[in-house]
Amino acid sequence: MGTRRNFIEKLTVASVGVPLVYNPSTLFAATGEHYDGPVLRVAIMGLGSYGTRVAKAMVSCKRARLVGLISGTPAKVVKWRAQYNIPEKNCYNYQNFDQLKDNPDIDAVYVITPNGLHCEQSIRVARAGKHVICEKPMGINAAEGQKMVDACKAAGVKLLIGYRMHFEPKTVAVIKMRQEGVFGQLKFFQGQSGFVIGNPNQWRLNKKLSGGGAMMDIGIYSINGARYMLGEEPVWVTAQETKTDPVKFKEGIDETIQFQMGFPSGAVASCLSTYAMNHLDRFFLNGSEGFAEMQPSTGYGPIEGRTHKGKLTQPHITHQTLQMDGMAKIIFEDIQPIVPVDGEEGVKDMKIIDAIFLAVKTGKKVML
């Protein structure tokens, strides 16, 4: 394992009018400190738009470095090798990446391929003895997710899911306020996640590759957000689907789903997942003593928000930089983020998605 160049950043996080102490060193490499420890050496599998975003963000990481590539497109590999100085011996395609087992220069693989490929590819990475970082959703259903968890445990490697928001400073600040009781008894959460999807021929609208439509892509943010904002696991769901364009959104590809969740405390969530409307990236949390509102709530940033105490003023840092440094701390030091990003966390979301699809199909409340 190598070390990174040293650099200093100034990071201050406001406490939004309450005595909260947010220590970034519990999430990622402490900015403003000399770091000369182990570096997580990562290969990215899937060199598409999001893989590109992750790679660019990793340039600023202190604890993680891009050292390998896995792609089915040779031209992309050539371009990325030149851009990121990747040695040829660390480059693979989708047929031969099992050979990772013989490469001691790679510690982990970040799987950023279509959802329907995650399970098989993640299991192959695990069997090659490498830690798995898998983009969300981790699979196309909970059964796949559990297979991934079991395979990684059997192989003795970690399975982490790409929940970047669990490292985002404003999100973390609101979660800490909730934990400290600043909002009182929580009553209600609203999550709105959506955008108008473009190219009708893309993999996200292919059932085999995506596992579904908007819910698998953007709706999962409201599911996960409801869980970390309320701090509970839902016990039931109801859901209703609206489809205005059955040509574009074929059978098994949801266009818009409204869904509701009930929690043990009595709190409820009302959420919207859609591929048919823009300007939908909003979380609202209501409690007996206050509220939190975030809009945008899960976009690439900057996140904006306020509570009854005032505006959230934590700085914007590239989400994927925080995420990858945070995941290095998990792997090397077992220092966990405020909300888990492990495979079990991913399975919880998949079980809820399964239940939402069942509720749409049956028109009935589904107990979890």
Please report which confidence band the pLDDT of residue 34 belongs to, taking 50, 70 and 90 as the band edges: confident
Return the higher-pLDDT residue of 106 and 32. 106
Please report which confidence band the pLDDT of residue 257 belongs to, taking 50, 70 and 90 as the band edges: very high
Residue entry with tokens 């409307």: 277
Strand partners, 258: 240, 272
- Annotated catalytic residue: which of 62, 110, 130, 136? 136
Query: Of 203, 192, 214, 211, which Cα lies nearest the Cα of 298?
Result: 192
Task: Report d(CA 60, CA 211) in Å as an integer.
Answer: 33
Please report which confidence band the pLDDT of residue 44 belongs to, taking 50, 70 and 90 as the band edges: very high
Task: Report d(CA 9, CA 21) in Å as an integer.
Answer: 19
Residue entry with tokens 């209501």: 286
Instruction: Tell me: cis bond preceding 200? Omega within 30 of 0 counts.
Output: no
Domains parsed from the chain with CATH numbers: 24-164 (3.40.50.720), 165-313+343-367 (3.30.360.10)
Query: Of 332, 315, 326, which Cα lies nearest the Cα of 9?
Result: 315
Alpha helices in the chain (DSSP H): 49-58, 74-84, 115-127, 142-155, 169-179, 207-210, 214, 220-230, 319-333, 343-362
Which range (32-46, 86-100, 104-118, 165-179) has the least confidence?
32-46
Instruction: Report yes or no: 264 and 274 within 8 Å, Cβ to Cβ.
Output: no
Say how many Å lie between the first and final Cα of the chain, rounded.
Answer: 43
221 in active site: yes
- Annotated catalytic residue: which of 92, 110, 163, 221? 221
Residue 123 CA, distance from chain mean position: 19
Task: Report d(CA 248, CA 243) in Å as an integer.
Answer: 10
Q: What is the pTM of this model?
A: 0.92
Please report which confidence band the pLDDT of residue 158 belongs to, taking 50, 70 and 90 as the band edges: very high
Burial of 67 (0-12, 13-18, 19+ CB in 10 A): buried
Q: How many CB atoms lie within 10 A of CB 331?
A: 20
DSSP for 253-317, written as a single string: --SEEEEEEE-TTS-EEEEEEESS-SSEEEEEEEESS-EEEESSSSSSS---EEETTEE--PPP-
- Over residues 273-280, the mean pLDDT reads 97
The amino acid at 271: C
Task: Report d(CA 159, CA 122) in Å as an integer.
Answer: 9
Residue 252 has what DSSP assignment? T
Q: How many CB atoms lie within 10 A of CB 291?
A: 16
Return the higher-pLDDT residue of 71 and 19. 71
φ, ψ of residue 296 to 5 degrees: the values are -70, 150
Task: Report d(CA 168, CA 318) in Å as an integer.
Answer: 9
Instruction: Tell me: cis bond preceding 296? Omega within 30 of 0 counts.
Output: yes
- Is a pLDDT exceeding 50 seen at residue 115? yes
Residue 5: predicted pLDDT: 32
110 in active site: no
Task: Report d(CA 309, CA 316) in Å as an integer.
Answer: 20
3-state secondary structure of 7: coil
Residue 287 CA, distance from chain mean position: 26
Please report which confidence band the pLDDT of residue 33 belongs to, taking 50, 70 and 90 as the band edges: low
Q: Which residues of 256-290 are buried (b: 16+ CB within 10 A; e: fewer)?
A: bbbbbbbbeeebbbbbbbbbbeeebbbbbbbbeeb
